[in-house]
């Protein structure tokens, strides 16, 4: 069995059809873009916190 051509279609108990397939080249590009955006946001928030611009919310002490 070739992993690159893996493809399975099933029906769940709630009658929802699900397709599981191998990652294609265009999927890799999409995942790469999402990974880059998450990394940029992480670094941006880290820098903002270190600079004191973005402070975490304080909980009300009662």
Domain ranges, ordered by start, for the chain: 24-57
Question: How large is the greatest C-alpha to C-alpha distance in the chain, in angstroms?
Answer: 62
User: Rounded distance, CA 9 to CA 5, Å?
Assistant: 13
Query: Residue 11's pLDDT band (boundaries 50, 70, 90)?
Result: very high
- pLDDT score of 56: 67
9, two tokens = 């279609």
How much is the pLDDT for 62?
A: 56
Higher model confidence: residue 56 or residue 48? 48
Residue 57 has pLDDT above 90, yes or no: no
pTM exceeding 0.85: no
More confident residue, 23 or 57: 23
pLDDT of 4 reads 78
């Amino acid at each position: 069995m070739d992993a690159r051509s893996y493809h399975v279609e099933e029906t769940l108990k709630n009658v929802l059809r699900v397709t599981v397939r191998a990652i294609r080249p265009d999927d890799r590009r999409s995942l790469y873009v999402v990974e880059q955006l998450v990394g940029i946001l992480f670094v941006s928030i880290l820098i903002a916190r270190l600079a004191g611009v973005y402070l975490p919310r304080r909980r009300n002490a009662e």
